[in-house]
């Protein structure tokens, strides 16, 4: 086949197709490509091999009388596709079987040498440098892949939601300040000096009002902002699928969101994930020591309180007799060879998290136990310990005797520290964690309970009678979605009865008067017939990161902030002109003294 190539969907006035699309079936055809010079290799005095790159890939071009072009110059190149000579095929490239010859080269723009190589070697470049020149970093294959996976995921989510008759509605970006458990970004009002808007932590209030308004099924891929410390899975700005449904139960919401998550995974990976499992919050804490359980590996926590009920080792014996105390343990396979420094590090880690101590037991040959406490254990206790833990030679057992919440947290963290694989390795194990506590902990200032998720979760119907008498025992109709140990998002069935909402507010220390002042715009509509409703929101940044094989969500966001919250490219945050502050009625305090 010869002649000109039929223009592709990617054809423009300057090119006929993309660099990475050429294949042996195109041999003999004339094409015009546009892109960047990725590499130049001289071949004799008047001949050069130029690798030309665009987002789709790289193709080799053989150019005679080559001009003075260097890496990252922008070029247009026209030539004929031919098979590479025998022995020169590059099996590592999709275009490695062909090359462009009889080339005519046009320089569209010259370029300075970039501050780092635009290839995989940039992975080793300091992240601050990569972010300072993010527009160059995004040219790389890794970032191109990640951002296009993100686009596929967003598209699949939209398709799945619209197929279920959800309606996309945009909600306000400037809203009143509301207590949702995280710091807000505030925006001063020029028209009303001294008053502020808040940027949305989520569209929570608006989407519930949309249910009152009869929208029935709402969704949007929403930008949200929280002024929290940044880490690998958290940014100031983040994107989430936000959804709400009327006349539903928990199972209806879980089914709708599961459909969107499966569609996203299929779009990104080309394969259907296994069915999404369910576990209660209490079972997750009991078995994995975490409300974000990673199901890809074992090492589950085991309650040994009964095993040591009569032991001579007092730290274990008292757990049976004191309410709230228990002995938990976890098995770490083939870790008995751990040296004393590592065992001491485990103990220090446990104490940092609030445990009084940590007991380690090595299982040796013939199931002999090596431990500072071994001499206190009877033969029956040794046998029961090995049987309960299903231990074998070479295993390391770690035990904690303390309050239930402490044993779970400590051993859960150690389980992850020791056994957890990278987030993208192994199978993708999704799990719904359900029946969270309605309240968690006590506010140090007010002495009142704090909401487990947010103040609008419906209490579990079996527990409502204890809302005032024993609020910390009340469960919520709340649920989280977890993937490989990362929390993707949260949701709940909402309170739709104004009086029930006030009861919950009172438990949080929010009086009726305070509730009317802060939430009147939200509570008032509920008097006019709010349907039972529930919803969910999950972070698309986190989902895309896992599906793209990344440990940090910054690698799937085009222009993220650093861990300190700064933007090396724009230098944000920056001071503003005093005139702007005057217009807003704002006076700055002097910076705090450096210690």
How is residue 1 annotated by DSSP?
-
Place of tokens 């949007």: 220
| H and E: helices and strands count for the chain | 14, 23
Q: Over 70: is that where the pLDDT of 181 sits?
A: no
DSSP 311-336: -S-HHHHHHHHSTTEEEEEEEETT-T
Beta strands in 333-438 (DSSP E): 359-363, 369-370, 396-403, 430-434
pLDDT of 4: 46
Percent of the chain with pLDDT strictly greater than 90: 67
Q: Over 50: is that where the pLDDT of 3 sits?
A: no
With H, G, I as helix, E, B as strand and everything else as coil, classify residue 523.
Answer: helix
Structure tokens at 211: 């249910």
Q: For the domain 3-109, what is the CATH superfamily, name and number?
A: Nucleic acid-binding proteins (2.40.50.140)
- The predicted-structure confidence for 121-172, as pLDDT tens digits, reads as follows 888 999 999 999 999 999 999 999 999 999 999 999 999 999 999 999 999 9
Cβ–Cβ < 8 Å for 405, 281:
no
Structure tokens at 247: 């006349």
Note if the bond before 573 is cis, omega within 30 degrees: yes
**81, 95, 139, 149, 223 from 157: Cα distances, Å:** 39, 32, 26, 12, 15
- The predicted-structure confidence for 422-441, as pLDDT tens digits, reads as follows 988 878 999 999 999 999 98
Q: Where in the chain is the domain with CATH 3.30.1360.30?
A: 298-419
Report the alpha-carbon distance of residue 62 to residue 72 in Å, rounded: 17
Q: Over 70: is that where the pLDDT of 328 sits?
A: no
User: What is the bridge-based pairing of β-strands 478-483 and 359-363?
Assistant: unpaired
Q: Over 90: is that where the pLDDT of 336 sits?
A: no
pLDDT of 7: 58
Q: Where in the chain is the domain with CATH 3.30.930.10?
A: 143-280+430-557
- H or E stretch including 76? strand 74-83
Q: Over 60: is that where the pLDDT of 6 sits?
A: no
Supply the pTM of this predicted model.
0.89
**422, 478, 481, 544 from 281: Cα distances, Å:** 24, 10, 11, 25
CATH architecture of residue range(s) 298-419: 2-Layer Sandwich (3.30)
Q: CB pairs under 8 A, 24+ apart, for 115-123? A: 118/36, 118/38, 118/71, 118/72, 119/38
Place of tokens 């001949």: 47
Return the ∠ at Cα 273 (arms to 269 and 279), rounded to 5°.
140
Which has more confidence, 339 or 114? 114
Q: Over 80: is that where the pLDDT of 530 sits?
A: yes
Cβ–Cβ < 8 Å for 184, 201:
yes
Report the alpha-carbon distance of residue 317 to residue 444 in Å, rounded: 33
- The predicted-structure confidence for 186-212, as pLDDT tens digits, reads as follows 999 999 988 999 999 999 889 999 999
Q: pLDDT confidence of 2, banded at 50, 70, 90? A: very low
Q: Is CATH 3.30.930.10 correct for 143-280+430-557?
A: yes
Low-confidence winner among 63-67, 271-275, 398-402, 510-514 (lowest mean pLDDT): 63-67
- The predicted-structure confidence for 41-77, as pLDDT tens digits, reads as follows 988 777 899 999 999 999 999 999 887 899 999 999 9
**Phi, psi at residue 401, to the nearest 5°?**
-115, 115
Residues paired with residue 474 on neighbouring β-strands, in sequence order: none
CA-nearest of 352, 346, 285, 361 to 316 is 361
Structure tokens at 252: 């209806």
Q: Over 90: is that where the pLDDT of 324 sits?
A: no
With H, G, I as helix, E, B as strand and everything else as coil, classify residue 18.
Answer: coil
Residues paired with residue 396 on neighbouring β-strands, in sequence order: 332, 362
């Amino acid at each position: 086949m010869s002649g000109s190539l039929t223009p592709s969907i990617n054809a423009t006035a300057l090119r006929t197709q993309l660099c990475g699309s050429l294949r042996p079936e195109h041999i003999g055809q004339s094409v015009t490509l546009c892109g960047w010079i990725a590499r130049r290799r001289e071949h004799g005095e008047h001949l050069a091999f130029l690798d030309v790159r665009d987002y789709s890939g790289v193709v080799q071009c053989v150019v005679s009388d080559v001009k003075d072009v260097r890496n990252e110059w922008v070029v247009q190149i026209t030539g004929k596709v031919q098979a590479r000579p025998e022995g020169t095929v590059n099996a590592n490239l999709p275009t490695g079987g062909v090359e462009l010859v009889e080339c005519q080269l046009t320089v569209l723009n010259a370029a300075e040498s970039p501050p780092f190589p635009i290839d995989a070697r940039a992975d080793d470049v300091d992240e601050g440098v990569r972010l300072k020149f993010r527009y160059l970093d995004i040219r790389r294959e890794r970032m191109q892949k990640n951002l296009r996976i993100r686009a596929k995921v967003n598209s699949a989510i939209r398709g799945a939601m619209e197929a279920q008759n959800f309606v996309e509605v945009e909600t306000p970006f400037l809203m009143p300040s509301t207590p949702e458990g995280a710091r807000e970004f505030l925006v001063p009002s020029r028209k009303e000096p001294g008053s502020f808007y808040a940027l949305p932590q989520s569209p929570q209030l608006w989407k519930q009002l949309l249910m009152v308004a009869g929208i029935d099924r709402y969704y949007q891929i929403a930008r949200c902002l929280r002024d929290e410390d940044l880490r690998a899975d958290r940014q100031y700005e983040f994107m989430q699928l936000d959804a709400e449904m009327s006349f539903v139960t928990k199972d209806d919401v879980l089914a709708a969101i599961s459909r969107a998550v499966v569609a996203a995974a299929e779009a990104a990976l080309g394969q259907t994930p296994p069915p999404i499992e369910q576990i209660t919050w209490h079972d997750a804490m009991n078995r994995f020591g975490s409300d974000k359980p990673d199901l890809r590996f074992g090492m589950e926590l085991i309650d040994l309180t009964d095993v040591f009920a009569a032991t001579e080792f007092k730290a274990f014996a008292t757990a049976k007799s004191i309410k709230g105390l228990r002995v938990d343990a976890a098995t770490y396979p083939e870790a008995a060879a751990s040296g004393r420094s590592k065992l001491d590090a485990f103990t220090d880690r446990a104490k940092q998290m609030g445990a009084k101590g940590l007991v380690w037991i090595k299982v040796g040959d013939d199931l002999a136990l090596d431990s500072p406490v071994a001499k206190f254990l009877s033969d029956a206790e040794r046998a029961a310990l090995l049987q309960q833990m299903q231990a074998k030679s070479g295993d390391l057992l770690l035990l904690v005797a303390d309050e239930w919440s402490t044993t779970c947290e400590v051993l859960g963290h150690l389980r992850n520290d020791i056994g957890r694989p990278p987030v993208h390795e192994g199978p993708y194990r999704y799990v719904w964690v359900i029946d969270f506590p309605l309240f968690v902990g006590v506010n140090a200032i007010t002495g009142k309970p704090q909401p487990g998720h947010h103040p609008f979760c419906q209490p579990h119907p079996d527990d409502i009678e204890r809302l005032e008498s024993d609020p910390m025992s009340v469960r919520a109709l709340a649920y989280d979605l977890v993937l490989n140990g990362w929390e993707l998002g949260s949701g709940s069935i909402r309170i739709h009865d104004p009086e029930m909402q006030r009861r919950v507010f009172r438990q949080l220390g929010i009086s009726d008067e305070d509730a009317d002042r802060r939430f009147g715009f939200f509570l008032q509509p509920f008097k006019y017939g709010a349907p039972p409703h529930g919803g969910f929101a999950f972070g698309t940044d986190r989902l895309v990161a896992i599906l793209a094989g990344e440990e940090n969500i910054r690698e799937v966001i085009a222009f993220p902030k650093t861990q300190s919250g700064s933007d090396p490219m724009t230098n944000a945050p920056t001071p503003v002109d005093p005139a702007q502050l005057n217009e807003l009625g704002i006076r700055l305090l002097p910076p705090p003294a450096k210690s």
